């Protein structure tokens, strides 16, 4: 599960990091409390042109008659993504990267109180999450939306949550974006245990 995250990297630095051409209408940064339905940064590619572009976080299947016509699909499970009607075509043909600085999860203590955790790279480097995207149109309304791909948590994260976003290593960005042929399904796995650190901190 991934329901909140932070992005603090400036737009020009994001474009440079991913060697992507930035759109003119990117969301403002920093944003340390990105929520579902917000516009977020994504990296997409048609194999010859990488672009840093905004999308709505919350995947809208093509058959929805309105944006709220069904569940808010902010995550897509790696184990079933290829079989789900909402996600299967996007998984094959419309994959994206979602740059973040870190994400949040919550645990519940014995007293019933919720403890927020901020999870980021050990070296505070930006993370690139695996995503899928979809164009949706009804009449004059048009939305480009996305979901974060999740998988089972690694051993280091299991004490906080049983799911985690799929984190794509820089060397694998071309494969996930469809620039390096087939085999992207092999990337939908938990991160290595030493990649992340955990801090007891709430979204700002």
Our answer to whether residue 105 is catalytic in this structure is yes
Domain boundaries, the chain: 4-199
Fold of 4-199: hypothetical protein yedk fold (3.90.1680)
Beta bridge partners of 6: 102
- Residue 1: its pLDDT value, please? 65
d(CA 51, CA 20): 5
The catalytic residue among 2, 91, 96, 146 is 2
Residue 146, CA distances (Å) to 109, 116, 180, 198 in order: 32, 25, 22, 26
CA-nearest of 145, 120, 169 to 9 is 120
Query: Residues 40-52: pLDDT tens digits?
Result: 999 999 978 999 9
CA-nearest of 55, 37, 15, 2 to 196 is 2
Spans of the chain below 50 pLDDT: none
Task: For residue 70, give the DSSP letter.
Answer: S
- Residue 204: its pLDDT value, please? 86
pTM of the model: 0.97
Task: State the burial class of residue 5 (Cβ atoms within 10 Å of its Cβ: 0-12, 13-18, 19+).
Answer: buried
The catalytic residue among 79, 105, 155, 179 is 105
């Amino acid at each position: 599960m991934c329901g909140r995250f932070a992005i603090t990297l400036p737009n020009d630095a994001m474009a440079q990091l991913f060697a992507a051409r930035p759109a003119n209408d990117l969301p403002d940064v920093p944003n340390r409390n990105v929520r579902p339905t917000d516009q977020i940064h994504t990296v997409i590619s048609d194999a010859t042109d990488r672009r840093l572009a905004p999308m709505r976080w919350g995947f809208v299947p093509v058959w929805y008659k309105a944006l709220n016509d069904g569940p808010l699909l902010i995550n897509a499970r790696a184990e079933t993504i290829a079989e789900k009607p909402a996600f299967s075509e996007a998984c094959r043909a419309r994959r994206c990267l979602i740059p973040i600085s870190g994400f949040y999860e919550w645990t519940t203590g014995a007293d019933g109180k919720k403890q927020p955790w901020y999870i980021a790279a050990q070296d505070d480097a930006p993370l690139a999450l695996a995503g899928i995207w979809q164009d949706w149109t009804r009449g004059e309304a048009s939305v480009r939306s996305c979901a974060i791909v999740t998988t089972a948590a690694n051993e280091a994260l299991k004490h906080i949550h049983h799911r985690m976003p799929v984190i794509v290593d820089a060397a694998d960005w071309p494969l996930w974006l469809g620039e390096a042929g087939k085999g992207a399904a092999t990337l939908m796995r938990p991160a290595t245990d030493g990649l992340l650190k955990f801090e007891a901190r709430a979204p700002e």
